[in-house]
């Protein structure tokens, strides 16, 4: 059976995918399954489930705060895998785990990949994973389990490096809209738009998703016009907290914000 990430992109030629991120265990420890199933029901194409970590370097205050709350609530990888395994048969869309290297190394790379497969997870995004370590240590194990390890590129990433990443990864490339931390933005300036067009013009083998800073109609359209789709994190995490974990209410408010 083909990896769900590859299937999603193979079947979506209209370039309008929407992927959402939330932090497992926030606002409540037991809410993970409800959030995922609500997103699937409401047409979200792909979900990134955040693994909370005490020192999330690439994340802005919203996601840092969510991780802190999740850790206080008692969320960890073992608990997360058991929650995901419980709903595995109900989840048809691709799930990715997004988290830092430290908790994954602590869990064990082989054990992590095996648990991903058992829990119905299709891939992982590890922002602080050095590319050499990915190639030599993580990729051989992940390939054995048919897991996609997704790499990030930023406006600072060289063309040579982007082509190298494109040649040695599968699934999609995560295009970070700016070199700064996560968070919402009202619009993407001409510099960011030029970056989107430049990468689009490289005609990469892998599809691309644009994330960081998407929170309204303008930023969503810019992402969806220049890539296979958009990834929203901070905005949804904020709305989920405001709705006390009620994912349907948070999604209602997100869809309303994305039209304005």
Long-range CB contacts (< 8 A, 24+ apart) of 39-42?
Answer: 39/93, 39/247, 39/251, 40/90, 40/91, 40/92, 40/93, 42/248, 42/251, 42/255
Sequence-distant (6+) residues with CB within 8 A of 72 are none
Kind of pairing between the strands at 46-50 and 123-125: unpaired
Annotated catalytic residue 159: no
DSSP, collapsed to helix, strand or coil, labels residue 25 as coil
Question: Exactly one of 59, 166, 170, 246 is catalytic; which is it?
Answer: 59
Q: How far is C-alpha 97 from the geometric centre of its chain's CA atoms?
A: 7
Q: How far apart are the first and last CA of the chain?
A: 40
**Angstrom distance (rounded) from CA 253 to CA 242:** 10
**Angle subtended at Cα 35 by Cα 19 and Cα 185, rounded to the nearest 5 degrees:** 45
Task: Provide the residue count of the chain.
Answer: 260
DSSP for residue 83: H
What Å distances lie between residue 227 and 173, 193, 222, CA to CA?
10, 11, 9
Annotated catalytic residue 170: no
The sign of the CA dihedral 29, 32, 35, 41 is negative
Question: Exactly one of 48, 166, 170, 246 is catalytic; which is it?
Answer: 48
DSSP for residue 128: T
Catalytic positions, written as ranges:
48, 59
């Amino acid at each position: 059976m083909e990896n769900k990430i590859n299937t999603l992109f193979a079947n979506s030629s209209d370039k309008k995918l929407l992927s959402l991120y939330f932090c497992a265990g926030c606002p409540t420890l037991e809410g993970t399954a409800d959030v995922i199933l609500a997103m699937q029901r409401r047409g979200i194409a792909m979900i990134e489930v955040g693994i909370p970590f005490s020192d999330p370097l690439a994340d802005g205050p919203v996601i840092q705060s969510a991780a802190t709350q999740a850790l206080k609530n008692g969320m960890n990888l073992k608990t997360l895998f058991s929650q995901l395994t419980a709903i595995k048969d109900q989840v048809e869309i691709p799930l990715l785990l997004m988290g830092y290297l430290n908790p994954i190394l602590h869990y064990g790379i082989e054990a992590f990949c095996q648990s991903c497969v058992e829990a119905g997870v299709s891939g992982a995004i590890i922002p602080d994973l050095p590319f050499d370590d990915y190639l030599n240590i993580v990729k051989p194990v992940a390939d054995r389990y048919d897991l996609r390890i997704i790499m990030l590129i930023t406006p600072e990433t060289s063309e040579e490096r982007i082509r190298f990443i494109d040649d040695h990864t599968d699934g999609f490339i995560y295009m970070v809209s700016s070199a700064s931390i996560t968070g919402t933005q009202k619009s993407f300036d001409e510099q960011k738009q030029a970056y989107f067009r430049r990468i689009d013009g490289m005609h990469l083998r892998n599809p691309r998703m644009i994330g960081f800073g998407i929170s309204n109609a303008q930023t969503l359209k810019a992402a969806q016009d220049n890539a296979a789709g958009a990834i929203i994190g901070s905005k949804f995490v904020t709305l989920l907290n405001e709705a006390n974990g009620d994912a349907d209410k948070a999604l209602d408010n997100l869809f309303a914000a994305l039209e304005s």
